[in-house]
Amino acid sequence: MLARLDNEVFFKKAFTDKMVFKAFVKDIIGIEVEPEKIETEKAFEPKVGHINFKYDIFAEDPKKRIIIEIQKVEYDHNFDRFLHYHLQAITEQQRSSDNYLVDKTVYTIVIITAPYKINKKTHEIYKDEVLISTLNPRNIKGIERKIFNHELIYLNPNYKGETTPRNYRDWLDLIYESIHNPANPNINLENAGVKRVTEIANMNKVTPEEWEMAKIEVMKREVIAIEREEERNETTQTIAKKMIAMGLDDSMIIQATALTQSEIQQLRYETKD
Protein backbone atom coordinates (compact mmCIF):
# COMPACT_ATOMS: atom_id res chain seq x y z
CA MET A 1 0.00 0.00 0.00
CA LEU A 2 1.24 3.48 -0.90
CA ALA A 3 1.65 5.90 1.99
CA ARG A 4 -0.34 9.12 1.75
CA LEU A 5 1.85 11.85 0.34
CA ASP A 6 -0.25 14.56 1.93
CA ASN A 7 1.38 13.47 5.19
CA GLU A 8 4.55 15.48 5.71
CA VAL A 9 6.49 12.52 7.11
CA PHE A 10 5.98 10.33 4.04
CA PHE A 11 6.25 13.25 1.63
CA LYS A 12 9.67 14.28 2.92
CA LYS A 13 10.84 10.68 3.09
CA ALA A 14 10.03 10.22 -0.60
CA PHE A 15 11.11 13.56 -2.07
CA THR A 16 14.40 13.87 -0.19
CA ASP A 17 15.55 10.70 -1.91
CA LYS A 18 18.12 11.93 -4.42
CA MET A 19 16.82 9.90 -7.35
CA VAL A 20 13.21 10.98 -6.71
CA PHE A 21 14.22 14.61 -6.27
CA LYS A 22 16.21 14.70 -9.50
CA ALA A 23 13.50 12.92 -11.49
CA PHE A 24 10.79 15.19 -10.12
CA VAL A 25 12.75 18.34 -10.90
CA LYS A 26 13.58 17.09 -14.40
CA ASP A 27 9.90 16.40 -15.17
CA ILE A 28 8.45 19.55 -13.60
CA ILE A 29 11.13 22.12 -14.45
CA GLY A 30 12.86 20.42 -17.35
CA ILE A 31 16.44 20.62 -16.09
CA GLU A 32 19.01 18.13 -14.87
CA VAL A 33 20.29 18.93 -11.38
CA GLU A 34 22.97 17.45 -9.16
CA PRO A 35 22.33 18.76 -5.64
CA GLU A 36 25.12 18.59 -3.06
CA LYS A 37 22.57 17.83 -0.36
CA ILE A 38 18.81 17.89 0.09
CA GLU A 39 17.67 19.61 3.27
CA THR A 40 14.38 19.77 5.14
CA GLU A 41 13.11 22.63 7.33
CA LYS A 42 15.72 24.89 5.74
CA ALA A 43 15.93 28.39 7.22
CA PHE A 44 18.26 31.23 6.27
CA GLU A 45 20.51 32.76 8.92
CA PRO A 46 20.37 35.62 9.51
CA LYS A 47 16.69 35.96 8.62
CA VAL A 48 15.51 37.96 5.63
CA GLY A 49 12.96 40.34 7.10
CA HIS A 50 10.96 39.44 10.21
CA ILE A 51 9.19 36.28 9.02
CA ASN A 52 10.53 32.91 10.13
CA PHE A 53 10.48 31.04 6.82
CA LYS A 54 11.31 27.35 6.67
CA TYR A 55 11.37 25.39 3.43
CA ASP A 56 9.98 21.84 3.47
CA ILE A 57 12.62 20.65 1.00
CA PHE A 58 15.57 22.74 -0.18
CA ALA A 59 18.49 21.88 -2.44
CA GLU A 60 21.16 23.69 -4.44
CA ASP A 61 23.13 22.68 -7.50
CA PRO A 62 26.40 24.63 -7.07
CA LYS A 63 27.65 24.02 -10.61
CA LYS A 64 24.53 25.36 -12.31
CA ARG A 65 23.83 27.97 -9.63
CA ILE A 66 20.30 26.70 -9.14
CA ILE A 67 18.14 26.59 -6.02
CA ILE A 68 15.15 24.26 -5.85
CA GLU A 69 12.48 24.54 -3.15
CA ILE A 70 9.52 22.23 -2.69
CA GLN A 71 6.65 23.21 -0.42
CA LYS A 72 3.87 20.72 0.37
CA VAL A 73 0.62 21.99 1.91
CA GLU A 74 -2.67 20.26 2.63
CA TYR A 75 -4.67 23.46 2.60
CA ASP A 76 -5.37 26.24 0.12
CA HIS A 77 -3.34 28.96 1.77
CA ASN A 78 -2.95 32.52 0.63
CA PHE A 79 -0.88 32.57 -2.58
CA ASP A 80 1.03 35.51 -1.14
CA ARG A 81 2.66 33.19 1.40
CA PHE A 82 4.39 31.15 -1.27
CA LEU A 83 5.35 34.24 -3.21
CA HIS A 84 7.16 35.38 -0.05
CA TYR A 85 9.02 32.06 0.15
CA HIS A 86 10.02 32.34 -3.49
CA LEU A 87 11.20 35.93 -3.25
CA GLN A 88 13.08 35.31 -0.02
CA ALA A 89 15.29 32.72 -1.71
CA ILE A 90 16.07 35.33 -4.36
CA THR A 91 16.70 38.28 -2.04
CA GLU A 92 18.71 36.16 0.41
CA GLN A 93 21.44 36.00 -2.23
CA GLN A 94 21.90 39.76 -2.02
CA ARG A 95 23.18 40.46 1.49
CA SER A 96 25.02 43.68 0.64
CA SER A 97 23.69 46.93 -0.81
CA ASP A 98 26.91 47.14 -2.85
CA ASN A 99 25.97 44.18 -5.03
CA TYR A 100 22.50 43.46 -6.41
CA LEU A 101 23.57 40.51 -8.54
CA VAL A 102 21.45 37.38 -8.08
CA ASP A 103 23.76 34.55 -9.07
CA LYS A 104 21.41 31.60 -8.65
CA THR A 105 18.16 30.87 -10.42
CA VAL A 106 15.38 29.99 -7.97
CA TYR A 107 12.62 27.50 -8.69
CA THR A 108 9.86 27.08 -6.11
CA ILE A 109 7.41 24.19 -6.50
CA VAL A 110 4.30 24.29 -4.31
CA ILE A 111 2.23 21.11 -4.08
CA ILE A 112 -1.27 21.81 -2.77
CA THR A 113 -3.21 18.69 -1.86
CA ALA A 114 -6.55 20.40 -1.13
CA PRO A 115 -9.00 21.92 -3.65
CA TYR A 116 -8.63 25.66 -4.12
CA LYS A 117 -11.09 27.92 -2.33
CA ILE A 118 -12.47 31.21 -3.57
CA ASN A 119 -9.74 33.82 -3.87
CA LYS A 120 -10.40 36.57 -1.33
CA LYS A 121 -9.03 39.26 -3.64
CA THR A 122 -10.66 38.35 -6.95
CA HIS A 123 -13.58 36.23 -5.66
CA GLU A 124 -12.67 33.62 -8.27
CA ILE A 125 -12.07 29.91 -7.81
CA TYR A 126 -9.14 28.49 -9.71
CA LYS A 127 -9.36 25.01 -11.21
CA ASP A 128 -5.89 24.50 -12.64
CA GLU A 129 -3.58 21.55 -12.11
CA VAL A 130 -0.53 23.61 -12.99
CA LEU A 131 0.08 27.34 -12.52
CA ILE A 132 3.45 28.89 -13.44
CA SER A 133 4.58 32.37 -12.45
CA THR A 134 7.73 34.14 -13.63
CA LEU A 135 9.23 37.55 -12.90
CA ASN A 136 9.87 38.34 -16.55
CA PRO A 137 8.52 41.69 -17.80
CA ARG A 138 6.38 42.11 -20.93
CA ASN A 139 6.48 44.96 -23.38
CA ILE A 140 3.35 46.86 -24.38
CA LYS A 141 2.70 44.29 -27.13
CA GLY A 142 2.53 41.54 -24.54
CA ILE A 143 5.84 39.93 -25.55
CA GLU A 144 7.72 38.41 -22.63
CA ARG A 145 11.37 39.36 -22.23
CA LYS A 146 13.30 36.52 -20.56
CA ILE A 147 15.44 38.61 -18.23
CA PHE A 148 14.99 36.32 -15.23
CA ASN A 149 14.68 32.53 -15.17
CA HIS A 150 13.08 32.25 -11.72
CA GLU A 151 9.83 30.28 -11.63
CA LEU A 152 7.12 29.72 -9.03
CA ILE A 153 5.10 26.62 -9.87
CA TYR A 154 1.85 25.51 -8.22
CA LEU A 155 0.72 21.90 -8.60
CA ASN A 156 -2.77 20.84 -7.52
CA PRO A 157 -3.83 17.26 -8.40
CA ASN A 158 -7.49 17.89 -7.56
CA TYR A 159 -8.26 19.32 -11.03
CA LYS A 160 -7.42 16.76 -13.67
CA GLY A 161 -6.95 18.42 -17.05
CA GLU A 162 -7.24 16.59 -20.35
CA THR A 163 -4.31 18.47 -21.87
CA THR A 164 -1.89 18.28 -18.93
CA PRO A 165 1.45 17.03 -20.34
CA ARG A 166 2.78 13.65 -19.25
CA ASN A 167 5.73 15.14 -17.35
CA TYR A 168 3.27 16.78 -14.93
CA ARG A 169 0.60 14.08 -15.13
CA ASP A 170 2.75 11.29 -13.70
CA TRP A 171 3.49 13.20 -10.49
CA LEU A 172 0.03 14.73 -10.10
CA ASP A 173 -1.52 11.27 -10.42
CA LEU A 174 0.97 9.88 -7.91
CA ILE A 175 0.03 12.45 -5.28
CA TYR A 176 -3.71 12.20 -5.93
CA GLU A 177 -3.80 8.40 -5.94
CA SER A 178 -1.72 8.17 -2.76
CA ILE A 179 -4.47 10.12 -1.00
CA HIS A 180 -7.61 8.73 -2.64
CA ASN A 181 -6.60 5.23 -3.76
CA PRO A 182 -3.50 4.17 -1.80
CA ALA A 183 -4.30 0.44 -1.85
CA ASN A 184 -4.46 0.23 -5.65
CA PRO A 185 -3.02 3.43 -7.12
CA ASN A 186 -3.44 4.03 -10.85
CA ILE A 187 -0.04 5.54 -11.62
CA ASN A 188 2.64 5.35 -14.29
CA LEU A 189 5.26 2.92 -12.99
CA GLU A 190 7.22 3.31 -16.22
CA ASN A 191 8.35 6.63 -14.81
CA ALA A 192 11.41 5.62 -12.80
CA GLY A 193 11.00 8.45 -10.31
CA VAL A 194 7.37 7.58 -9.62
CA LYS A 195 8.25 3.91 -9.23
CA ARG A 196 10.99 4.82 -6.78
CA VAL A 197 8.47 6.72 -4.65
CA THR A 198 6.27 3.62 -4.42
CA GLU A 199 9.27 1.71 -3.11
CA ILE A 200 10.19 4.34 -0.53
CA ALA A 201 6.71 5.43 0.57
CA ASN A 202 5.39 1.92 1.06
CA MET A 203 3.33 1.30 4.19
CA ASN A 204 5.02 -2.07 4.63
CA LYS A 205 8.35 -0.27 5.06
CA VAL A 206 7.21 2.37 7.55
CA THR A 207 9.20 2.21 10.77
CA PRO A 208 7.48 2.53 14.18
CA GLU A 209 9.14 5.93 14.61
CA GLU A 210 7.88 7.17 11.24
CA TRP A 211 4.40 5.87 11.97
CA GLU A 212 4.33 7.74 15.28
CA MET A 213 5.50 10.94 13.59
CA ALA A 214 2.89 10.47 10.85
CA LYS A 215 0.12 10.16 13.45
CA ILE A 216 1.28 13.40 15.07
CA GLU A 217 1.06 15.11 11.66
CA VAL A 218 -2.51 13.84 11.26
CA MET A 219 -3.43 15.26 14.67
CA LYS A 220 -1.88 18.62 13.74
CA ARG A 221 -3.95 18.67 10.55
CA GLU A 222 -7.12 17.93 12.51
CA VAL A 223 -6.40 20.85 14.85
CA ILE A 224 -5.86 23.15 11.85
CA ALA A 225 -9.13 21.92 10.32
CA ILE A 226 -11.01 22.67 13.54
CA GLU A 227 -9.47 26.15 13.74
CA ARG A 228 -10.35 26.86 10.12
CA GLU A 229 -13.90 25.61 10.66
CA GLU A 230 -14.23 27.90 13.67
CA GLU A 231 -12.99 30.80 11.54
CA ARG A 232 -15.50 29.88 8.82
CA ASN A 233 -18.35 29.72 11.34
CA GLU A 234 -17.35 33.07 12.78
CA THR A 235 -17.35 34.61 9.29
CA THR A 236 -20.73 33.04 8.48
CA GLN A 237 -22.26 34.43 11.68
CA THR A 238 -20.84 37.89 10.91
CA ILE A 239 -22.48 37.79 7.47
CA ALA A 240 -25.77 36.63 9.00
CA LYS A 241 -25.74 39.46 11.53
CA LYS A 242 -25.21 41.98 8.74
CA MET A 243 -28.14 40.47 6.83
CA ILE A 244 -30.29 40.69 9.95
CA ALA A 245 -29.33 44.36 10.33
CA MET A 246 -30.40 44.89 6.70
CA GLY A 247 -33.85 43.55 7.57
CA LEU A 248 -33.66 40.37 5.49
CA ASP A 249 -35.92 37.48 6.42
CA ASP A 250 -34.81 34.09 7.73
CA SER A 251 -35.31 32.23 4.45
CA MET A 252 -32.90 34.53 2.61
CA ILE A 253 -30.32 34.26 5.38
CA ILE A 254 -30.59 30.46 5.37
CA GLN A 255 -29.96 30.36 1.62
CA ALA A 256 -26.96 32.65 1.90
CA THR A 257 -25.28 31.16 4.97
CA ALA A 258 -26.61 27.58 5.38
CA LEU A 259 -27.32 28.37 9.04
CA THR A 260 -30.33 26.70 10.68
CA GLN A 261 -33.51 28.50 11.69
CA SER A 262 -32.65 28.15 15.38
CA GLU A 263 -29.13 29.52 14.82
CA ILE A 264 -30.53 32.56 13.05
CA GLN A 265 -33.07 33.12 15.82
CA GLN A 266 -30.23 33.03 18.35
CA LEU A 267 -28.32 35.62 16.33
CA ARG A 268 -31.44 37.80 16.14
CA TYR A 269 -31.69 37.62 19.93
CA GLU A 270 -28.00 38.53 20.31
CA THR A 271 -28.26 41.51 17.97
CA LYS A 272 -31.25 43.09 19.72
CA ASP A 273 -30.57 46.52 21.17
What's the pLDDT tens digit per position in 114-133? 877 766 666 677 889 999 99
The percent of residues in the chain predicted with pLDDT above 70, rounded, is: 84
202 and 248 share a domain? no
Query: Is residue 158 one of the residues assigned to a domain?
Result: yes
Answer with the one of 170, 187, 206 that is the final residue of a domain. 206
200 and 240 share a domain? no
Phi first, then psi, for residue 166 (nearest 5°) are -60, -35
Predicted TM-score (pTM) of the model is 0.75
**Nearest by Cα to 202 from 223, 185, 224:** 185
Segment 227-251 shows an average pLDDT of 73
Query: Is residue 123 one of the residues assigned to a domain?
Result: yes
* Residue 109 Ramachandran class (φ > 0 left, ψ -120 to 50 alpha, else beta): beta
The sign of the CA dihedral 18, 76, 82, 125 is positive
Q: Which domain holds residue 248?
A: 234-270
Angle formed at CA 89 by CA 144 and CA 149, multiple of 5 degrees: 25
138 and 266 share a domain? no
172 and 248 share a domain? no
Contact (Cβ atoms closer than 8 angstroms) between residue 141 and residue 184: no
Answer with the one of 206, 221, 244 that is the final residue of a domain. 206
E-state strands within the chain: 38-42, 55-61, 66-73, 105-112, 130-134, 151-155
Segment 51-79 shows an average pLDDT of 77
Query: Is residue 46 one of the residues assigned to a domain?
Result: yes
19 and 142 share a domain? yes
Answer with the one of 163, 186, 206 that is the final residue of a domain. 206
Burial class (CB in 10 A: 0-12, 13-18, 19+), 5: buried
Per mean pLDDT, which range of 46-55, 209-218, 225-234 is the poorest? 225-234
134 and 252 share a domain? no
Query: Is residue 95 one of the residues assigned to a domain?
Result: yes
Cα dihedral 32, 37, 39, 42, rounded to 10, equals: -90
Query: Is residue 139 one of the residues assigned to a domain?
Result: yes
Query: Is residue 220 one of the residues assigned to a domain?
Result: no
- Report pLDDT digits (tens) over 74-119: 665 567 788 888 888 888 877 655 666 778 889 999 998 887 776 6
68 and 199 share a domain? yes
46 and 112 share a domain? yes
Query: Is residue 224 one of the residues assigned to a domain?
Result: no
